[in-house]
Amino acid sequence: MEKGKHYLEKFRYCPACGSKNFNINDFKSKRCSDCGFTYYFNASAATVAIIENEEGELLVCRRACEPAKGTLDLIGGFVDPGETTEEAISREIREETGLDISKIEGVSKSGLTYLFSEPNTYNYSNFVVHTTDTFFHIVVPSSCQITPSDDVAETFWVRREDIRLDAFGLDSIREGFRRWLSAHH
């Protein structure tokens, strides 16, 4: 965030009553002096999948949309309200690759292994969204058919030694992938 700017600078009116008396309360909140509503700027939950096949190749995708359109990425996305991170990553895998991990023999949601989390910023519609990206690992059969969809332009399998971290467009993906690769080489 730029020095001197508040996280909620773009939020000028109270979302509860519409008052323009929506003022800075502390470093991550604003409070309406008319109705008393306080809004806190918290990180959004997001998920990332490190998908590996039986030969040890890693599934990489190319971003079809901004931010970082055209750069490499991993499968993942935001957690919807009412979803667990496990449900969200299963949904994102299905939406972006066509793989329904609950229907792959020998693989299920329990086949997802939680790895770690990374903070991230995601510039969307000229607004910086702070996220906490939760990384999962899963191994799928090499015979799985992948169909890129949703916000994925293409997918391909890459050997670990051929991964170029500088080709990944999002900071947390680069850092999370670097962290995983260094622990699994």
> What is residue 123's predicted lDDT score, i.e. its pLDDT?
83
Four-point Cα dihedral 109, 85, 178, 126, nearest 10: 140
Identify the residue with better confidence: 7 or 113: 113
Q: How is residue 174 annotated by DSSP? A: H
- Estimate the share of the chain in helix, then strand, then coil, as percent rounded to the nearest 5: 20, 35, 45
Give 158: exposed, middle or buried? Use CB within 10 Å, 0-12, 13-18, 19+: middle
Percent residues over pLDDT 90 in the chain: 74
Q: How far apart are CA 14 and CA 18, in angstroms?
A: 5
* Overall average pLDDT of the 96-100 stretch: 93
Residue-wise pLDDT for 108-153, tens only, equals 455 789 999 999 888 888 888 899 999 999 999 888 889 999 899 9
Residue-wise pLDDT for 38-53, tens only, equals 999 999 999 999 999 9
Q: How far apart are CA 92 and CA 155, in angstroms?
A: 14
* Overall average pLDDT of the 55-61 stretch: 95
Rounded to 5°, the CA angle 61-135-108 comes to 85
Where in the chain does DSSP place strands (E)?
22-26, 29-32, 38-40, 44-53, 58-63, 72-73, 75-78, 113-124, 127-140, 152-158
Structure tokens at 165: 């971290």
Residue-wise pLDDT for 12-41, tens only, equals 999 999 999 999 999 899 999 999 999 999
Instruction: State the pTM of this model.
Output: 0.88
Neighbours of 114 (CB within 10 A): 12
> What is residue 4's predicted lDDT score, i.e. its pLDDT?
65
